[in-house]
């Protein structure tokens, strides 16, 4: 399938971090600012939209694949993939430190945020895939040589145009370091839920 992007050049920052760079191998390195987050209202009551995300605009169906790693040390340190149509309508899918362990984490926000998490042991970089099929998002993570579903979710706000790409934030501190190793945005790589 033809790639629409394999570099960071076609993308722009939402809340650009003060410290970020692209090394000669093409890895994107970024460090979070102080107490940054993406969250809307649920349970905690606050509205936060100051996390960092490097995004590209997309109007058609797609598969976005991201491989990344992070130095998870403090509660809620997180990085992964974001699909966003606005400040109160987005999905973040990544790895987050909670309850003293790393978790595969999904937050779907459409005015209010929800949150699901399942423990995941890290022995290297994580690869995630988000596929948009109309108004549905299929969220998967790579397990060995295959893909496992983490969640099937509605596209918040049923938006036609979204922005998609890597994100990071650290709600309890500054200085969370993440590395984004590989990125691709293609036509959908899956058409059905089970293949």
Residue 193 lies in a domain: no
Among candidates 68, 186, 91, which has minimal Cα distance to 138? 91
The three-state secondary structure class of 158 is helix
Residue 111 CB coordination number (10 Å):
11
* Digit-coded pLDDT (tens) for 135-194: 999 999 998 889 999 999 999 877 789 999 999 999 999 999 999 999 999 999 987 766
Contact 34, 51 (CB under 8 A): no
Query: What CATH number corresponds to the domain at position 74?
Result: 2.60.120.200
The answer to whether the CB of 181 falls within 8 A of the CB of 45 is no
28 — pLDDT class (breaks 50, 70, 90):
very high
- Please give the distance of CA 36 from its chain centroid, rounded to a whole number: 14
Residue 154 lies in a domain: yes
Is 192 among the domain residues? no
115: containing domain: 3-186
Instruction: Evaluate whether residue 194 is within a structural domain.
Output: no
User: Would you say residue 161 lies in a domain?
Assistant: yes
Q: Which residue has the tokens 């809307």?
A: 40
Residue 74 burial (CB count, 10 A): 14
* Domain tally, the chain: 1
Establish if 191 belongs to a structural domain. no
pLDDT at residue 110, rounded to an integer: 94
| CA–CA separation, 90 and 111 (whole Å) | 9
Half-sphere exposure of 54 (CA within 13 A, CB side): 26
Cα separation, 179 vs 67, in Å, equals 9
Quickly state the pLDDT bin for 15 (edges 50, 70, 90): very high
Residue 3 pLDDT: 37
């Amino acid at each position: 399938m033809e790639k629409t992007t394999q570099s960071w050049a076609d993308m722009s920052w939402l809340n650009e971090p003060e410290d970020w760079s692209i090394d000669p191998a093409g890895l994107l390195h970024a460090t979070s600012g102080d107490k940054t987050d993406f969250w809307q209202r649920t349970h905690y009551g606050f509205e936060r939209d100051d996390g960092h995300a490097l995004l590209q605009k997309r109007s058609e169906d797609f598969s976005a694949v991201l491989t990344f790693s992070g130095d998870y040390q403090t509660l809620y340190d997180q990085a992964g993939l974001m699909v966003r149509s606005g400040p109160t309508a987005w999905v973040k899918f990544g790895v987050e430190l909670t309850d003293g362990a790393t978790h595969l984490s999904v937050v779907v926000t459409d005015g209010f945020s929800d949150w699901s998490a399942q423990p995941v042991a890290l022995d290297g970089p994580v690869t995630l895939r988000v596929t948009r099929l109309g108004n549905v998002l299929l969220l998967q993570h790579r397990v060995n040589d295959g893909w496992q579903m983490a969640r099937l979710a509605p596209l918040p706000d049923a938006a036609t145009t979204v922005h998609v790409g890597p994100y990071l934030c650290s709600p309890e501190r500054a200085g969370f370091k993440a590395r984004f190793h590989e990125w691709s945005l293609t036509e959908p790589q899956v058409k059905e839920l089970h293949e």
